[in-house]
Chains A and B, each alone.
Chain A
Amino acid sequence: MQWVTTTQILDDLKFSDNSVAWKTFTDHFYPVILAFAKNMGLSSADAEDATQETIIQFLRLYRDNRFQREKGHLSHWIFGVARNVIRDFIKKRPKEYSVPDSCTRTSFWGSVPDEKAILHTWMTEWQRVILSRCLSRVRCEVDEKTYRAFNMYALEQQPVKAVCEELDMTPNAVYIAKNRVLTKMRELKRCYDE
């Protein structure tokens, strides 16, 4: 998997014929926006449409130089676009389709925006995707034993003694493995947060 920073993606997107940049961008942001749209109460089909509409609108605005990096994070900018697009979808849809696919008996609140909850949902999805990508990426970059030690000790929270016995490592090596993986993840995550 190719690792690119947000800055790289944005720079490449300046040119409309760069299909690789387009794919990278959608790979990165599509799942976040889709999950967000579903959480806002849209049905699966509407959520897909809203996600595509969000990406198109974002690109249009970006190419019109409306997004200025110094004025805020990319995530907040995309959030603003997504929120408005989804709001329009909610307003436009006919009443009989107002119940989302999985009826969790929260249909009313799905149709009424709660700004704090929306932002929280967005940030949660955003962080989840970023962390998941960083974790996948770092897995490719470290050796198998280091990652397993990290996985067992840090993620599964097994006692260090059990990890040592299982992987034939010293406790110090387990701690080093954990910190090595997490340090790499922090570096990767910083690229997204910029």
Chain B
Amino acid sequence: MECLNHETIERYAKKMLPQQEQAAIDLHLNDCPVCRQHIDEAMENESLLSQIHTHQLPLTSHTLDELPKPQPAMTTAQAQEILGRQYTIVKKIGRGASGEVFQAMDPALDRPVAVKFLHQETLARAWQTDQWLEGKFMSRADHPNIAHIYHIGQHDGVRYIVMEWIDGLPLTQAWEKEPLAKRLSLYMQVLEAIDTAHRKGIVHRDIKPSNILVTAAGQVKVLDFGIALAVESQRDESNIYRGTPAYSAPEQISNPEKIGPATDVFVLGILLYQLLTDTVPFAQTDSRQLFEAICSQHPELPSAIQETVPLPLQNICLKALEKDADSRYRDANALANDVSRFLRGEKVWSRPSFVNDQIQQEIFYHRQRLEVWHHNGMITEKEHDKLENIYERVVAPADLSIVESRKLSFSQVCLYLGGWITILGCAVLLSSEWSHISRFFRPIPAMLSVVLMIICGRYLWTKNETRLSVGFLATGCLLLPVAALIMFGHYSLFGPDTYTLGSESVAELFSGYPPAPEETVSSAFYLGNLQLLISAGLWLAASLFFLRIIRSSIFVIFCILSFLGLLSVLYVIGGMMETWIEHEHVIALRYLYPGVIFFAAGMVLDRKKMTKYAWPLSAVGLLLVVACSSFIALSEATLFFCAWANPDSAPDWYTKGIAFLSQADIEQAKAFSFIVNGLIYLVLAWVCRRQGTRLQRTLGQIFNWLGPLHLLVCLRILDQLGSGVHQDVYRFMLPVASLAFVFGSVSRQMKSFVFSGLGGLAISVQKFTSEYFEDVFSWPIALILVGFCFMLLSWWVPRLRASQTLKRE
């Protein structure tokens, strides 16, 4: 091959050569240092040239030049000629970037329709295709909030789309005088429509108020998918600017390759900004300034314009308006999820990345000053450490994996469920003696579980699967003391004869086994104080290790679970159940009245902005109300049980009172108290959540957690009190309902239901162990394996979904 001429070098540097020719030149360049040098220089020159263009012309030159140019307007007569007799033109409505719109009548069906004639130039230049993209996309995106397509036609090269006639107002006009709640409900309809389009691989690219009409019935209709781009087909390679300048995303202006669902999210962010402030975030009148502002300036904070803007909504809005498409919500669904969370009164975790950066930068300077103050003795070491801790927490907010783990998804729920079932399996191992199994083998499954969890957690950590890794490590940490106790007990480590905790075995504590005879102490499963202390120490060490990794709600859950474990031990040892049963339920009522009064007084004070006094009153009220109502429910059930099982043990008035009830009625009535209790809590949760204050929301959340748990406890009571087939039905209903609670929680992010479900599952496992699988060693092993499989499922499901998405794209 001869040496390269200037034209070839130029085309090579600009990457304009066909692939074969380029390959041939590459071969030549390996042998010719002179040409190699020319090529290198030419490529460096090209790079410099692109810098010149970038810095001197911040917008690519074609962007502004190729804004759609005005087309000659079509008259009503011309439009009628094209349509023939099929439709009768009524009037011209207007013209947009992709065509002109007329109102017409369909005489056959006697209904008004909208007819859109597409611009010739737009079609020829942009799509170069015979496909009717808009019609195709809109018919694919069949949704009540998307305008329907009736007919697609062509006459003398002019193409038109006949669609649903919508008599409505543009979105911003429709919500002009509406309160925030109404505006948000309209906005949610827009999100649903765009989400449907995104799910079908369609990006609207021209969302703006005039393309979103609201009918008199309050239904939103999204129109004009005229410049819709099918993500999957990637047809649009023309890199021509399309859209409405004020409602454009940065990538529409400067980086068309990155156009995707996040492009629509940016514009939905602009709409949300308008919803909150009644102004657009980028109000420049000059196109060039407007594009520069969209690409590089942060908008004014909505709360600076409108003081009443709720801060979570502001964060959602700013997150949607991130300049970098990857930092925004990935699609309309993700945005809708956060808006729904706000509407449900849940915490919204999203925070725009630039806010984080700014906070971190400011705090960096504050911490430098803190060091100086400390060094100069202006603050004590304690004050310094306290402030440092606060700054540390603000600077390093929960990372994405933690935020993700707080969102309930199928995968996350599988992780919780798997971890919990594994722990239950080990708890079953701890609660029995397994005298028929080799002593050496007894603790092996639990130990293996711990090792497996820690290895998996560590492996996932190295693979940056933080969310899953934390799940495995947390389970490992919780299993560690359990496995240690099993090991100490069966291997008689750290002195089997030192136990003094009521001289009872752990097996006895959990399953009510009679104490082992003195002579079998050496061979039985017994634990002493030293062993308990060592396992508690292990738990503490594991907790501290865990605390270093995360500092968020998972750890709180971890502590709550440990606390519940402790409570259950106290519950059995202290015989609280018996104490409750011995009391009359009427006594509880005496405590319920002051509880209600305290509670109501707290709410009134809170509404009067006297929050300082409202908190303690509400807390006392809450404690009394919950304790009394739970006690009443429990004692009611117990009294029914007593009256049914042994009429002498119940008070006379009670026995007489229920004498007219049949046995079946009594059985069901026993559960009612718990169901009613649970429902009362759910209603209270709903009432509290509707209030705006922090106190009310907190109370609402507490009730929200109590409600579902009571509903499951009712099944447990029915199981205990029922007989025959009924008993079996209730026994199996509890785990089924628990699983339904766990998986049903995903759609509405109901964490209280997840953890109630997990609690219900624990009760079921305990019941099944004592009823069907007593001394069956394969039962706990099966539980551990099932738990582990669920955890693996949690790892596998997102990957499967990702690969399917990739395949689809």
Beta-carbon contacts of B139-161 to A below 8 Å, as 1s and 0s?
00000000000000000000000
Query: A3-11, A16-24, A114-122: which one contacts chain B?
Result: A114-122
Closest Cβ of chain B to A28, distance in Å, is 16
Whether A145 sits at the interface, judged by CB under 8 Å, is no
B48 with A185: CB separation less than 8 A = yes
A183 with B45: CB separation less than 8 A = yes
Whether B10 sits at the interface, judged by CB under 8 Å, is yes
Whether B283 sits at the interface, judged by CB under 8 Å, is yes
Query: In the complex, A193→B6 CA distance in Å?
Result: 29
Count residues of chain B with CB under 8 A from any CB of chain A.
34
Query: In the complex, A105→B9 CA distance in Å?
Result: 48
Whether B298 sits at the interface, judged by CB under 8 Å, is yes
B301 with A108: CB separation less than 8 A = yes
Q: List residues of B (268-304) whose CB comes within 8 Å of A's CBs.
A: 281, 283-284, 289, 293, 296-301, 304
Known: A106-B300, A109-B298, A131-B56. A182 touches B361 (CB 8 A): no
Whether A45 sits at the interface, judged by CB under 8 Å, is no
B283 with A179: CB separation less than 8 A = no
Closest to B62 in A: A157
B301 with A172: CB separation less than 8 A = no
Q: List residues of A (154-185) whose CB comes within 8 Å of B's CBs.
A: 154-155, 157, 171-172, 175-176, 178-179, 182-183, 185
Whether B55 sits at the interface, judged by CB under 8 Å, is yes
Closest Cβ of chain B to A182, distance in Å, is 4
A179 with B42: CB separation less than 8 A = yes
Count residues of chain A with CB under 8 A from any CB of chain B.
32
Whether B804 sits at the interface, judged by CB under 8 Å, is no
Query: In the complex, A105→B301 CA distance in Å?
Result: 9
Query: In the complex, A157→B50 CA distance in Å?
Result: 12
B357 with A114: CB separation less than 8 A = yes
Whether A107 sits at the interface, judged by CB under 8 Å, is yes
B299 contact from A105, A172, A179, Cβ within 8 A: A105
A108 with B358: CB separation less than 8 A = no
B48 with A186: CB separation less than 8 A = yes
Whether B571 sits at the interface, judged by CB under 8 Å, is no
Query: In the assembled complex, which residues on chain A have CB atoms less than 8 Å from the CB atom of B42?
Result: 179
Closest Cβ of chain B to A110, distance in Å, is 9
Whether B52 sits at the interface, judged by CB under 8 Å, is yes
Query: In the complex, A108→B300 CA distance in Å?
Result: 6
Whether B41 sits at the interface, judged by CB under 8 Å, is yes
Query: In the complex, A113→B49 CA distance in Å?
Result: 31
Closest Cβ of chain A to B365, distance in Å, is 9
A113 with B55: CB separation less than 8 A = no
Known: A127-B51, A172-B7. A114 touches B354 (CB 8 A): yes
Whether A128 sits at the interface, judged by CB under 8 Å, is yes
A131 with B284: CB separation less than 8 A = no
A131 with B361: CB separation less than 8 A = no
A128 with B284: CB separation less than 8 A = no
Known: A183-B41, A186-B48. A113 touches B361 (CB 8 A): yes
A127 with B6: CB separation less than 8 A = no
A175 with B10: CB separation less than 8 A = yes
Whether A136 sits at the interface, judged by CB under 8 Å, is no
Whether B19 sits at the interface, judged by CB under 8 Å, is no
Closest to B283 in A: A105
Closest to A171 in B: B7
Known: A186-B45, A189-B48. A124 touches B55 (CB 8 A): yes
Closest to B353 in A: A116
Known: A113-B361, A114-B354, A185-B48. A172 touches B6 (CB 8 A): yes
B45 contact from A135, A172, A179, Cβ within 8 A: A179
Query: In the assembled complex, which residues on chain B have CB atoms less than 8 Å from the CB atom of A115?
Result: 357-358, 361
Whether A68 sits at the interface, judged by CB under 8 Å, is no
Query: In the assembled complex, which residues on chain A have CB atoms less than 8 Å from the CB atom of B519?
Result: none
B56 with A132: CB separation less than 8 A = yes
B55 with A128: CB separation less than 8 A = yes
Whether B78 sits at the interface, judged by CB under 8 Å, is no
Q: List residues of A (127-159) whose CB comes within 8 Å of B's CBs.
A: 127-128, 131-132, 135, 154-155, 157
Whether A191 sits at the interface, judged by CB under 8 Å, is no
Known: A107-B300, A128-B55. A182 touches B48 (CB 8 A): yes
Closest to A182 in B: B45
Whether B371 sits at the interface, judged by CB under 8 Å, is no
Closest Cβ of chain A to B805, distance in Å, is 30
Query: In the assembled complex, which residues on chain A have CB atoms less than 8 Å from the CB atom of B284?
Result: 104
Whether B44 sits at the interface, judged by CB under 8 Å, is yes
A117 with B354: CB separation less than 8 A = yes
Whether A112 sits at the interface, judged by CB under 8 Å, is yes
Query: In the complex, A105→B6 CA distance in Å?
Result: 50
Closest Cβ of chain B to A107, distance in Å, is 7
B6 contact from A109, A114, A176, A186, Cβ within 8 A: A176
A135 with B298: CB separation less than 8 A = no
Query: In the assembled complex, which residues on chain B have CB atoms less than 8 Å from the CB atom of A132?
Result: 56
Query: In the assembled complex, which residues on chain A have CB atoms less than 8 Å from the CB atom of B7?
Result: 171-172, 175
Closest Cβ of chain B to A76, distance in Å, is 17
Query: In the assembled complex, which residues on chain A have CB atoms less than 8 Å from the CB atom of B289?
Result: 104
Closest Cβ of chain A to B308, distance in Å, is 17
B56 with A178: CB separation less than 8 A = no
Query: In the assembled complex, which residues on chain B have CB atoms less than 8 Å from the CB atom of A178?
Result: 10, 45
Query: In the assembled complex, which residues on chain B have CB atoms less than 8 Å from the CB atom of A135?
Result: 52
Q: List residues of A (55-98) whose CB comes within 8 Å of B's CBs.
A: none
Query: In the assembled complex, which residues on chain B have CB atoms less than 8 Å from the CB atom of A183?
Result: 41, 45
Closest Cβ of chain A to B351, distance in Å, is 14
B298 with A116: CB separation less than 8 A = no
Closest to A128 in B: B55
A106 with B298: CB separation less than 8 A = yes
Whether B61 sits at the interface, judged by CB under 8 Å, is yes
A112 with B358: CB separation less than 8 A = yes
Closest Cβ of chain B to A194, distance in Å, is 16
Q: Which residue, of B55, B296, B304, B354, has the highest number of chain A Cβ atoms within 10 A?
A: B55
Known: A114-B361, A178-B45. A108 touches B304 (CB 8 A): yes
Q: Which residue, of A127, A132, A157, A179, has the highest number of chain B Cβ atoms within 10 A?
A: A179
Closest Cβ of chain A to B410, distance in Å, is 36
A106 contact from B5, B49, B299, B362, Cβ within 8 A: B299
B300 with A105: CB separation less than 8 A = yes
B354 with A106: CB separation less than 8 A = no
Query: In the assembled complex, which residues on chain B have CB atoms less than 8 Å from the CB atom of A106?
Result: 293, 297-300
Query: Beyond A114-B361, A172-B7: 8 further Cβ-contacts under 8 Å?
Result: A108-B300, A108-B301, A116-B357, A128-B56, A131-B52, A132-B56, A175-B10, A179-B45
Can you sample 6 A-B contacts with CB below 8 Å?
A105-B283, A106-B297, A112-B358, A113-B358, A114-B361, A117-B298
Could you list which residues of chain A lie within 8 angstroms of chain B, going by C-beta atoms? 104-109, 112-117, 124, 127-128, 131-132, 135, 154-155, 157, 171-172, 175-176, 178-179, 182-183, 185-186, 189
Could you list which residues of chain B lie within 8 angstroms of chain A, going by C-beta atoms? 5-7, 9-10, 41-42, 44-45, 48-49, 51-53, 55-56, 61, 281, 283-284, 289, 293, 296-301, 304, 354, 357-358, 361-362
Q: 4 tightest A-B contacts by CB?
A: A182-B45, A175-B6, A109-B298, A128-B55
